[in-house]
Amino acid sequence: MTAAAGGAVAVANGGTAASQHDVRLAARTERMRPSAIREILKLTDRGDVLSLAGGLPAAELFPVDAVAEATQRALAANGVRALQYGPSAGLPELRAWVAERHALEDPDRVVVTSGSQQGLDLVGKILLDPGDRVALSAPAYMGALRAFDPYQPTYAPVAMDDEGLDPDALDAVLAEGASFLYAVPDFDNPSGRRAGLARREAILEVCAKHDVLVVEDAPYRELRFDDVEHPPLAALAPDRVVHLGSLSKTLAPGMRVAWMIVPDGLEEITEQAKQATDLHTGTFAQAVAYELVRDGALEARFPHLRTHYRDQRDRLTAALARHVGGRLTYEVPPGGMFLWGRFGDGVDANALLREAIDRGVAFVPGDAFYPGDGPPETVRLSFSLLDEAGFDEAARRLAAALDAYGA
């Protein structure tokens, strides 16, 4: 079937030529489009392409044996409950675990979601009418744009510096109104930046001045490479911040277990939106996840995760220094999984990507992370997927692509 949003389309019925009927798609589908990253990943399915593109967590960190044991425990503890429908806001013990980690007095503010991607969708569902403005960093996590798109907002990009959102730029944007600010203060995707404490306070002050809610997305928060830890925005301003946390980067994304912490007053509507969407996140996944995180088991994983991703970052930057040199400039990220860079003036990363794929290396052109046109010379490189030899070869191929491109 072919389809066009807002218009009538012919749908072949079971492939028989004669019977066709018209399907009119909702106007909101006009804004739906495939993720640029998934399109690039299709190209990299070719076995010979080394990928600096995808954002998948390092598979060697998945605790496969521990998941098997946790599954046994979850079923032994109460197998029927783990297989039955459950409460829309999530299993009480998992919500209590989240509440304790965030020092919340009230676990009712926690709603378990199917990935934080669902949290983004629920935020759009309960907060956005068509035409509403969403303030967000430029660049911003592409999946957030795709989650909000169907609710038909307009985007108000806010300039960043090396600590993330620039408070003056934010002030100017919010002066014109916004439904909410979407922010990733810890090791942003794609920029890798982290906001310091003073910056967090400044952002919240500007939001308070204009009475704007903040949606804080924090999936990379635990992947820090130093001892510096700043409070989440939600801890600094619980009444103003919807916080999204996830087990995807610290445990395994296939579990699809994440959570929202909402300000007082939003609990019920969030739960209702969640219920209408999927009744609840799978009780089985929640029960297993709880067994994997309880009694400090999640925190026990952090030292290893941090060392692993820090070493990976260093392997990538060393390979870039060896082969690409000054033709790519970047900030060294203090955490997360991504390095944000710039090729020289005049380089179009989309055109360069074609040369790169031909030579067997892939990356994500930075303009994919902007709601409108972004700077063409920017790029996101992931350091989660390759090993030392892979990074070396990927950087060598990238240099060859730059040679061919004439940069």
Ligand X SMILES: Cc1ncc(COP(=O)(O)O)c(C=O)c1O
The footprint of ligand X (CB under 6 A) covers: 55, 115-117, 141, 143, 184, 189, 217, 219, 246, 248, 253, 258
Q: Is the CB of 258 or the CB of 361 nearer to ligand X?
A: 258
Which residue, 232 or 360, is less far from ligand X as judged by CB? 232
Helix (H, G, I), strand (E, B) or coil at 2: coil
Pick between residue 188 and residue 355 the one whose CB is nearest to ligand X: 188
The minimum distance between CB 281 and ligand X, in angstroms, equals 11
Min CB(251)–ligand X separation in Å: 10
CB nearer to ligand X: pick between 116 and 317: 116
What is the DSSP secondary-structure string of 15-66?
TEEEEEEEEEB-GGGGG----HHHHHHHHHTSTTPEES---PPPGGG--HHH
**Can you name the residues that pair with 244 across neighbouring β-strands?**
217, 260
Calpha distance 284→407 (Å, rounded): 52
Three-state DSSP class for residue 90: coil
**Which residues have a Cβ under 8 Å from the Cβ of 96 and sit 6 or more positions away?**
107
Assigned token pair, 263: 């300000």
CA gap 182, 156 in Å, rounded: 10
Using DSSP's 3-state secondary structure scheme, residue 156 falls into strand
Give the nearer residue to ligand X in terms of CB position, either 179 or 382.
382
Task: Please give the residue whose beta carbon sits closest to ligand X in the complex.
Answer: 115
Length of the chain, in residues? 407
Nearest distance, CB of residue 257 and ligand X, angstroms: 8
CB of 13 to ligand X, least distance (A): 36
β-bridge pairing 338-343 and 328-330: antiparallel
Cβ nearer to ligand X, comparing 246 with 283: 246
In 3D space, the residue among 158, 238, 227 whose CA is nearest the CA of residue 204 turns out to be 238
Nearer to ligand X, 146 or 323 (CB): 146
Q: How far is the CB of 188 from ligand X (least distance, A)?
A: 7
Closest approach of ligand X to the CB of residue 65, in Å: 22
Q: What are the CA-CA distances from residue 277 to residues 134, 219, 280 (Å)? A: 22, 22, 8
By beta-carbon proximity to ligand X, the closer residue of 51 and 116 is 116
Q: Cα separation of 69 and 102, whole Å?
A: 27
Alpha-carbon Rg for the chain, nearest whole angstrom, is: 22
End-to-end CA distance of the chain: 43
CB of 150 to ligand X, least distance (A): 16
CB of 195 to ligand X, least distance (A): 14
Cis peptide before 190 (omega within 30 of 0): yes
